[in-house]
Structure formats: C-alpha cells, structure tokens
C-alpha cells in the first residue's frame, strides 16, 4: 500500500471484460473490443471509495502466469514484480472452469484476490446456475457478480476490495497435488533462497520449477547464486523421477490437479447449462469461416467497408469543403494585407481545412473498424486468413494488427505484441505499413476524386488491394531473408459473436475523430504554417523573373485599351502571364528550391517538384501531404479564376502520375509518430530498416509503373 | 506409393493415434496428448485444451486451420498446430 492508496490489478483471461470493468470503475474510456488481445499495455486510473483511494491497473489478458507473448509478459511482470495489494480476477462466468485456472494460480502466489464473475448476463442466458456463497467458501475467495457492459455490480467489487485488504489472517487454501509432486516440492523448498514474505511463496516457486517455467528458473538463478546448480539438479532429478513413475511429465500432473480442484469445487456449487440449445456462434461460423466461402466473404466485407467510407462520406465532405471555400472567399475580401491574407487563406485554411475536410471519411472508417472489432469477426478474419498467411510464412493472428493498421499504424504496431514469436512479430510490423492507414485516405480521396471522379471508390479500393499485395510479397521476402525460422503454431480462442453496441462504437469513433481534429489543430496547423513559410519566402523580386512579365502585362493592357484585342483574349493573355509568374514565384521560394534540387531523383517516377515537396512534408504525418498540396495549389492559383483545388491539380498532372503518387504515398513508411513507436517496440536498427526499405520499394515500384505506363499515354 | 506411406507416418504419431488434422465435423473426439514440448502444452492446458477433454470440430479444411468447440468454448487451431494434437474418437 503506497502512500495510503490501495493498488488493485485487473487481471484475467483475454476478452473476459477487464477493460470494460476498468472503464466502469474509473470512468475512463480505454479501448474495448470483442477479441482476445485488445489491451496490450497496462493502464492505470484512480477511484475513491468510502474514503479509500484505490489505484486500478488494467492489464492485458493472460491464461496463466507463464507468459508467452509480449503483452502477456507485461501483465505477468506487473503481478509478480510490482505485487499489487489486491488482484481483481475478471472471469467470464460462462466459461468458469477455464477461467478459474488462472485464479487458482493467483491463489498460489498469495496476493489477495477478489473474483469478479463478469458476463453474468451471458451465463444466465445459457442457463447456468452458481451457488456463489458456497463456491466462494470452497475457493477461499470473495466472489462478486457483475455485468461490465451494463455497469452492474461495480460497487460491490470495490466493497470487496476494501474488505480483503483489511482482513489480516486470511484463510489460505492450498491446492493439493499428487503425492509425487508434493514429495518433490518438499525437497525443493529448503533449497530456495527467496524470502517467504507471504506473497510469493516458496511453494509456488517450487511448483513453477517443476512445471519447467524458464522465467522463474532465470529469476532464481539470479537470487540463488551458487546454490542454483544444486537446485537445478534436484529439480531435474525430480522431473525425471516423476516421468518414470507416473509416465507423464509433472506439468501435466500439476495442471490436472489444478483442474481437479476447480472441478471439485464447481461440482458442488455449479450447475451446467442444459446443452442442446442451438448455438448461434456455431451457425454463423459455419458460413463465415467456411473453407470455400470464408475468404470471399472477408474480401467482400473489406470492399463494402471502403465503399461505405467513400460513398457515404462524400456528402458531408462536400458540405465541409463548401464551407471552407466560402470562408476563404469571405476572408479574401476582408483582409487587405497580401501576406497576411495568403498566410490565413492559403496556409491555414488551405492546410488545416484541407485535412479537416476528410473528417467524415475518417469517422466512417473508424466506425467500420469498431464494428469489426466489437462483433467478434476480427478473430474470424484471423482464422480465415490463416491459410493464406501460412503461405507467406506468417499465421492468422498476424492479421489482427494488419486490420487495425487500416485505422492507424501506431496501435497496429502495439497490437503486434500479441504474436508470440519475435520474428513473426517483426515481419508483421515491417509489412504493416502496406495496410494503408486512415491518414493516407485523404490523399487517395483527393487524387482519386480529382483524376477518376466516376470510379473513385474502386480506384481507392485498388490502392488498398495493391497494399495488401505488397504486404504479402514483402512478408514472403522478409521471411526468406532476414527473418528465417520455424513458424510458431497458433491457437486462439474465438469469442462468441455479439451484436456491437452502437454506443460503444460511437464513443470509440468519437475518440478517434477528436484525436484527428486535435492533430489538425496542433501538429498539422504548425506544419502548415511552416510549409506556407517555405512556399512563400524568400519572395521573388521583379528582377528575378525569367522574363519581363511586368512590361508584357503593360503592353497587353495598352493594346486592349487601344481596342486591338478583344476582352476575352485580353483576360486570357493576362492570366497566362500571371500563371507563369506564380509558378516562378513558387519555384523561387525555399521549398521550391529544395524541391527543384531533389526533383531529378523523382523524375523517373513522373513527379514534379511539388509532389516531391508534398511527399517529404508527409513524413511528419501523411495528412500533411494533402495540406501541402492544398497550400501549394492555393498559392499557385490565380486569384481571379474560380478554379477549384481539384481542377488546378487536374490540369497540372496526367492521371497516371496522379495514380502513381497515390502508390508512392501508400508504400513509404507511415509517419514520424509511428516510427517512434516502431523504435520503442523493435529498436533503432529495425526502425531504420523499415524507413529505408519502404522508401526504396516505393521508388522502385513507382518508377516501373511510370516507365511502363508512359508508353500508353 | 510413397505418398501413402508418408501419410500413415503423419497420422500416427508417437501416441499411436491420429492427429487433429484428420478429424471431421459431426463426431466427438477425445484429446490424448499434445506434442511440442512443455511450453506449448502448458499453454494449451491453461487455455483449457487438455488431455481427456471431449470436443467437436465445426469448421474444417484438410491441412488448414480448424475451429473446435470444447466445453462451450470455441478455439481456432492453426495449421501446424492441428498436427501436434493427438486424438481418438470418443
Ligand atoms: N454481455 C456482456 N458483454 C460484456 C460484459 N463485459 C464485457 N463485455 C464485452 O466483452 C468484450 C470484451 O471486453 P474487454 O473489456 O475488451 O475485455 P478485456 O478482458 O479487456 O480483453 P483483452 O484486453 O483483450 O484481454 C467486449 O465486447 C465487451 O463489450 C458483460 O458483463 N456482459
Ligand atoms: Mg482489455
């Protein structure tokens, strides 16, 4: 108990509702989803209850105290090293026997436990009956029933926490093991040099050694020092002896005893459901995970998702666009100072507005992903894709981070923690960038809408498909070169389907949208202003133009006054000259010079310096590609003409180049923020590899596309 | 001929029985053992996939991943894993 507050860990099997309970307890809004492995990091929050300050820590789900994947290590280390005062073990009541397996292990390490029988509604719906009082007595732990998704039973949970912390001599139940195990445990205990502080008991260490838990062995190697060799010898002798006598290894016997203890308790206090009722999950699964239909259905769902995002998003997008255009026109009239006007209209409204326009699409995308996550389909997608993923040297579980990557690559990198094997994890992270994130969507919508207005939805979908294609290819390449190795076999629990709560999906969507808007108002605002500065300064002087445009303009003026040319031809000629002047003005600016300098590298791709500058600025965040484009074409536009941004872009490039630019945006690494996370998760070397190989790939692919495409245009 | 003998070796592993990869929907099976070392089997036990448990298969593709129901819980078992779980008809 640090400075008077009680530290409570929320632990339990994956997908049992820990984060839901955490949100109920603390009023926070951490991400909840219906598949195992949503939470991959610990999160803490505080609640005050009856004068006690309680610090709650939400942990990733675990099946046992032997950790396999990165996120399980987070949970296990918190429990074993930071030793919370109380563990609330969140249990899926509809699957008690398996969930209690972990509870029994908590019992053995001696930290006070409160059992939270969550999903009580589901259990009841299945017709299960539990005698809570009796079971609590048999297991020696208080039990509270809750329905996390409806916020029921939360108070009781807090009362129970305070009660167990106050209790001194708690009754401690020991799991009885078979005789051979008990004998071995007795032999091992005297050799252990760990302090028996009543928490991590020697008995638990001994049992773990017999289970051949590598992590516990390593821990003891440190603590026991020289005595460790003796200990190791005794342990391995015991294991061999048990194998000889019993014919199975100790871990099987230990697991059997634990399940035996649980079954014994449940036998008395629990009534199973009368089976035979139709299982909706199984019915749905027989279609959705069908051998033949599974993949086509998955592809259709993805297609539907992008159509939904693009088609439905178009209307509100149009309204916001019109709004910003009106605002620009209005401000153009009000602000008289040329530079100020350009900063506000071209730089800020062009840049930030250019990004905000896509808010509805981003909202729809995150809403769609939230539905996928909440319904339980996510885990099925992993299953369905297992066969495909196998061909490229990954397994189905890798698909979960990949799908999350369609929203944002940062949580996707985090989510790859659920992969148990380090190489699987690195390959998955390295290919995640090809699952095009939502920040790139604005680039596609802008360019596809500009160059291919009639079939924009399908063009965008094609970009996504190409992304998946490269994910597959690169996975295969990486697997064959840098990350060779055995494929880890996988087993995953499939959650029951659940009708997604509209409210939950909306809340999640709103959180993401708010992040997007905040980002537009901060990072993107700053970068837009900086980019505007780079596009504007140094300003071109009259002498710096390549031709004497001023006198040319004067001549035209004069001949018009004299009646030599018609009004039509007059304005045509004038705007032609102004167009030239604007182009030179931009090229004279800092950004123009940098772009011009690098342009030769990108010329084989068909890009001009503006595209180069937009791509470079996109390293900060992919949305900035759009904002830079908007600012560029806004500054470059001739004031009098009412050409829209789209028309200006359309008149500047061939559609092939437009498409190629989308490809380039798709293929190079996502953004600075994501690279920081990449570094934290995988190290500097891997991050640098990611940056350079994606840039190289993007360049090569786009070069080939342009060089071949050139012949057809 | 060689293909056949290879297949026999694969179906009958060290437990002298067939693997999950050859299970079909509509029948009940019992798990009798898991190959692949303590780490892997420990993992499966903790998830509730234990020797002596009875299960059914409900999505199946030869050589591919499978879905099974065991005590009301559904599991996706990846390809590769299906060859390490030894079973018999129950
Ligand atoms: N019916 C019902 N659903 C619930 C209940 N509690 C949580 N859920 C749902 O169960 C799913 C999993 O909830 P989470 O809170 O994300 O589970 P978790 O234990 O944090 O999962 P991981 O972080 O993946 O380990 C979500 O779809 C929740 O809406 C409940 O009491 N009843
Ligand atoms: Mg969670």
Does residue A198 carry a pLDDT above 60? no
What whole-number percentage of chain A has pLDDT above 90? 47
Give the C-alpha separation, B53 to B37, whole Å: 19
Average pLDDT value for chain B: 79
Residue A589 in any domain: the answer is: no
Q: Is there a single domain that holds both residue A144 and residue A210?
A: no
Instruction: Please check the confidence at residue B60 and state whether its pLDDT lies above 80.
Output: no
Task: Say yes or no to pLDDT of A469 above 70.
Answer: yes
Residues 6+ apart with CB under 8 A from B23: B29, B57, B60, B66, B68, B87
pLDDT tens-digit map of A50-97:
899 999 999 999 999 888 888 999 999 999 888 899 999 999 998 999
- pLDDT confidence of A222, banded at 50, 70, 90? confident
Peptide bond between residue A66 and the one before it cis (omega within 30 degrees of 0): no
Tokens of A702: 């786009």
Cα–Cα–Cα angle for A173, A220, A217, nearest 5°?
A: 85
Do A19 and A116 share a structural domain? yes
Average pLDDT over residues B20-30: 90
Q: Which residues of B touch A390 (CB under 8 A)?
A: 78-80
Q: Model confidence over A142-180: pLDDT tens digits?
A: 999 999 999 999 999 999 999 998 776 666 778 889 888
Kindly state whether residue A125 falls inside one of the protein's structural domains. yes
Q: How far is CA A578 from CA A524, A584, A638, in A?
A: 30, 10, 7
- Domains present along chain B, CATH in parentheses: 18-89 (2.30.30.90)
Average pLDDT over residues A413-430: 92
- Between A279 and A83, name the one with better pLDDT: A83
A153 lines ligand 1 (CB under 6 A): no
Q: Which of A212, A379, A491 sits opposite B38 (nearest CB)?
A: A212
Does residue A98 fall inside a structural domain? yes
Which residues of A, range 274-313, sit inside 8 Å of B by Cβ?
A: 279, 281-282, 285-286, 289-291
The domain boundary, picked from A271, A299, A325, lies at A271
Domain boundary among A215, A240, A271: A271
- A481 lies in some domain: no
Predicted confidence (pLDDT) at residue A676 exceeds the cutoff of 70: yes
| Distance separating alpha carbons of residues A97 and A107, to the nearest angstrom | 15
Identity of the residue in B44, B76, B80 whose CB atom sits nearest the CB atom of A382:
B76
- Rounded Cα distance between A193 and B63, Å, is 49
3-state secondary structure A570-619: HHHHHHHHHHHHHHHHHHHCHHHHHHHHHHHHHHHHCCCHHHHHHHHHCC
Query: What's residue A386's pLDDT?
Result: 86
Q: Tell whether A62 and A132 lie within a shared domain.
A: yes
Of A224, A252, A271, the one marking the end of a domain is A271
pLDDT confidence bin for A296, thresholds 50/70/90: very high
* Pair (A145, A18) in one structural domain: yes
> Is a pLDDT exceeding 80 seen at residue A642?
no
CB A191 within 8 A of CB A234: yes
Q: Is B12 a residue whose pLDDT tops 50?
A: no
Query: How large is the ipTM?
Result: 0.84
What confidence category does residue B10 fall into, taking pLDDT thresholds of 50, 70 and 90?
A: very low
State pTM to two decimals: 0.87
Mutate to test the interface with B, among A108, A209, A289 (most CBs of B within 10 A): A289
* Pair A71, A187 in one domain: no
Give residue A640's pLDDT: 45
Q: Taking 60 as the threshold, does the pLDDT of residue A298 lie above it?
A: yes
DSSP string, A192-260: --S---SSS-HHHHHHHHHTT-HHHHHHHHHHHTTHHHHHHHHHHHHHHHHHHHHSS-HHHHHHHHHHH
Q: Do A192 and A142 belong together in one domain?
A: no
Residues contacting residue A336 through CB under 8 Å, at least 6 positions apart: none
Based on the fold, state whether residues A140 and A190 are members of the same structural domain.
no
SS (H, E, C) A283-302: HHHHHHCCCCCHHHHHHHHH
Of A66, A249, A387, the CB nearest to B65: A387
pLDDT of residue A2 exceeding 50, the answer is: no
Is residue A374 over pLDDT 50? yes
Q: Are A497 and A376 in contact (CB under 8 A)?
A: yes
pLDDT beyond 70 at A595: yes
Average pLDDT score over residue span A457-479: 91
* Residue A273 pLDDT exceeds 70: no
Alpha-carbon distances, residue A626 vs A351, A420, A446, A479, A630 (angstroms): 8, 38, 8, 34, 6
Asked if residue A225 and residue A82 are part of one domain, the reply reads no
Mean pLDDT of A582-590: 86
Residues of B in contact with A126 (CB under 8 A): 72
- Per the DSSP assignment, residues forming a β-bridge with A455 are none
CA–CA separation, A7 vs A46, rounded Å? 9
Most confident of A231-240, A288-297, A694-703, B30-39: A694-703
Q: How far is the CA of A14 from the centre of ligand 2 (A)?
A: 7
Span between the terminal Cα atoms of chain A, in Å: 73
Residue A249's domain spans which residues? 179-271
CATH number at residue A25: 3.40.50.300
- Return d(Cα A468, Cα A402) in angstroms, integer: 9
Edge-to-edge strands of the sheet including A43-49? A43-49, A52-58, A5-12, A86-92, A113-118, A143-145
Kindly give the number of the ligand 1 atom that is closest to the alpha carbon of A38: 24
Q: Candidates A17, A21, A56, A495: which one to mutate for ligand 1, based on the most atoms within 8 Å of Cβ?
A: A17
Return the axis-axis angle of helices A623-636 and A567-588, rounded to nearest 10°.
Answer: 130
Other CB atoms within 10 Å distance of the CB of residue A397: 29
Q: Are residues A137 and A62 in the same domain?
A: yes
According to DSSP H, which parts of A619-654 are helical? Answer: 623-636, 645-652
Q: Which residues of B touch A255 (CB under 8 A)?
A: 42, 45-46, 50
A452: confidence class by pLDDT, cuts 50, 70, 90 = very high
Element (H, E) at B86: strand B85-89
pLDDT band for position B7 (cuts 50, 70, 90):
very low
Query: Worst-scoring range by mean pLDDT, A180-194, A275-289, A291-305?
Result: A275-289
Q: What pLDDT is attached to residue A200?
A: 58
Predicted pLDDT of residue B4? 38
Q: Are residues A80 and A152 in the same domain?
A: yes
Which one of A45, A78, A148 would you pick to mutate in the ligand 1 pocket, going by the greatest count of ligand atoms within 8 A of its CB? A148
CATH of residue A237's domain is: 1.10.287.1770
Kindly calculate the radius of gyration of chain B based on its CA atoms and give it in whole angstroms.
12
Number of Cβ within 10 Å of residue A686's Cβ equals 16
Q: Are residues A50 and A117 in the same domain?
A: yes
Whether the CB of A93 sits within 6 Å of ligand 1: no
The mean-pLDDT minimum among A116-120, A247-251, A355-359, A414-418 falls in A247-251
CA distance B52 to B86: 11
Q: What's the average model confidence in pLDDT over A480-484?
A: 91
Same domain? For A39 and A145 the reply is yes
Residue at A44 is within a domain? yes
Find the range with the poorest average confidence among A413-422, A445-454, B14-23, B68-77.
B14-23
Crossing angle between the packed helical segments A227-246 and A202-210, to the nearest 10 degrees: 60
Residue A257 lies in a domain: yes
Residues of A in contact with B42 (CB under 8 A): 64, 66, 211, 251, 255
A608 conformational bin, left if phi > 0, alpha if psi -120 to 50, beta if neither = beta
Q: Taking CB atoms and an 8 Å cut-off, how many pairs form between chains A and B?
A: 126
Identify which of A64, A60, A63 has the alpha carbon closest to the alpha carbon of residue A9: A60
pLDDT band at A192 (very low <50, low <70, confident <90, very high): confident
List chain B residues with CB under 8 Å of A98: 47-48, 71, 73
Q: How far apart are CA A148 and CA A154, in angstroms?
A: 8
- Burial of residue A9 (CB within 10 Å: 0-12, 13-18, 19+) is buried
Per DSSP bridges, beta strands B54-59 and B18-19 are: unpaired
- Quote the number of domains for chain A: 2
Distances (CA, A) of A30 to A369, A532, A681, A704, B7: 16, 37, 21, 44, 49
What local confidence, expressed as pLDDT, does residue B42 receive? 84
Rounded Cα distance between B53 and B34, Å, is 12
In a domain, A450, yes or no: no
Strands A143-145 and A113-118 turn out to be parallel
Residue A322 domain flag:
no
Q: Which of A386, A389, A421 to probe by mutation at the B interface, max B CB count within 10 Å?
A: A386
């Amino acid at each position: 108990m640090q400075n008077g507050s009680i530290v409570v860990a929320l632990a339990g099997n994956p997908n049992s509702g820990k984060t839901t309970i955490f949100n109920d307890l603390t009023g926070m809004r951490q991400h909840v989803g219906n598949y195992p492995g949503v939470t991959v990091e610990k999160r803490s929050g505080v609640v005050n209850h009856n004068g006690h300050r309680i610090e709650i820590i939400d942990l990733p789900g675990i099946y046992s105290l032997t950790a396999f994947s990165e996120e399980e290590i987070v949970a296990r280390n918190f429990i074993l090293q930071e030793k919370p005062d109380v563990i609330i073990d969140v249990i899926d009541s509809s699957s008690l026997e398996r969930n209690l397996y972990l509870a029994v292990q908590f019992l053995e390490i001696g930290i006070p436990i409160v059992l939270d029988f969550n999903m009580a509604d589901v259990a009841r719906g299945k017709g299960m009956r539990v005698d809570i009082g009796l079971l609590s007595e048999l297991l020696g732990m208080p039990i509270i029933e809750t329905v996390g998704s409806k916020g029921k039973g939360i108070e009781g949970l807090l009362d129970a926490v305070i009660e167990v912390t106050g209790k001194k001599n708690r009754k401690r139940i020991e799991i009885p093991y078979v005789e051979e195990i008990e004998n071995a445990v007795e032999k091992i205990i005297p050799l252990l040099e760990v302090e028996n502080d009543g928490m991590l008991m020697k008995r638990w260490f001994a049992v773990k050694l017999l289970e051949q838990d590598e992590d516990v062995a390593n821990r003891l190697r440190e603590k026991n020092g020289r005595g460790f060799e003796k200990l190791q010898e005794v342990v391995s002798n015991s294991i061999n002896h048990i194998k000889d006598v019993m014919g199975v290894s100790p871990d099987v016997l230990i697991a059997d005893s634990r399940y035996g203890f649980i079954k014994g308790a449940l036998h008395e206090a629990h009534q199973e459901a009368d089976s035979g009722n139709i299982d909706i999950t199984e019915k749905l699964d027989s279609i959705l995970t069908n051998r033949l239909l599974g993949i086509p259905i998955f592809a259709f769902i993805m297609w539907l998702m992008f159509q939904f995002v693009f088609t439905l998003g178009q209307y509100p997008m149009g309204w916001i666009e019109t709004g910003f255009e009106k605002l620009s026109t209005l401000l153009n009239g009000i602000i008289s100072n040329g530079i100020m006007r350009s900063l506000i209209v071209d730089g800020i409204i062009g840049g930030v507005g250019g990004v905000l326009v896509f808010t509805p699409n981003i909202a729809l995308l995150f809403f769609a992903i939230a539905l996928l996550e909440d319904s339980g389909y996510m885990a099925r997608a992993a299953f369905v894709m297992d066969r495909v993923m196998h061909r490229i040297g990954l397994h189905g579980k890798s698909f979960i981070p990949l799908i999350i990557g369609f929203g944002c690559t940062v949580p996707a990198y985090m989510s790859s923690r659920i992969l148990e094997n380090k190489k699987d994890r690195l390959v998955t992270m390295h290919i995640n960038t090809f699952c095009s994130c939502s920040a790139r969507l604005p680039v596609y919508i802008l360019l596809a809408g500009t160059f291919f207005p009639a079939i924009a939805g399908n063009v965008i979908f094609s970009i996504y498909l190409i992304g998946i294609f490269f994910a597959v290819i690169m996975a295969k390449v990486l697997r064959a070169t840098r990350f060779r190795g055995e494929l880890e076999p996988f087993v995953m629990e499939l959650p029951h389907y659940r009708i997604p709560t509209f409210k939950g999906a909306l809340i999640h969507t709103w959180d993401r949208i708010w992040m997007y808007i905040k980002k537009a108002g901060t990072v993107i605002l700053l970068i837009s202003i900086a980019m505007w500065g780079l596009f504007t300064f140094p300003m071109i002087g009259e002498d710096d133009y390549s031709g004497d445009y001023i006198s040319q303009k004067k001549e035209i003026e004069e001949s018009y006054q004299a009646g030599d040319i018609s009004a039509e031809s007059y304005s045509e000629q004038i705007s032609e000259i102004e167009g030239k002047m604007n182009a030179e003005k931009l090229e004279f600016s800092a950004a123009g010079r940098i772009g011009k300098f690098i342009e030769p590298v990108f010329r084989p791709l068909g890009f001009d310096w503006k595209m180069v500058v937009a791509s470079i600025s996109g390293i900060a965040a992919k949305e900035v590609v759009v904002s830079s484009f908007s600012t560029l074409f806004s500054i470059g536009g001739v004031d009098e003409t009412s050409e829209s941004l789209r028309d200006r872009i359309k008149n500047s490039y061939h559609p092939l180049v437009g498409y190629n630019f989308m490809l380039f945006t798709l293929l190079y690494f996502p953004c600075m923020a994501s690279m920081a996370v990449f570094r934290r998760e995988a190290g500097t070397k891997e991050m640098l590899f990611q940056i350079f190989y994606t840039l190289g790939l993007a360049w090569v692919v786009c070069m080939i596309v342009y060089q071949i495409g050139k012949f057809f245009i | 001929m060689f293909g056949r003998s290879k297949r026999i070796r694969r179906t009958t592993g060290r437990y002298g029985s067939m693997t999950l990869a050859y299970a079909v929907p509509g029948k009940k099976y019992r798990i009798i053992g898991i190959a692949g070392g303590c780490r892997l089997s420990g993992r499966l036990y903790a998830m509730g996939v234990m020797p002596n448990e009875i299960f059914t298969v409900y999505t199946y593709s030869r050589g591919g991943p499978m879905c099974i129901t065991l005590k009301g819980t559904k599991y996706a078992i990846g390809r590769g894993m299906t060859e390490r779980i030894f079973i018999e008809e129950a």
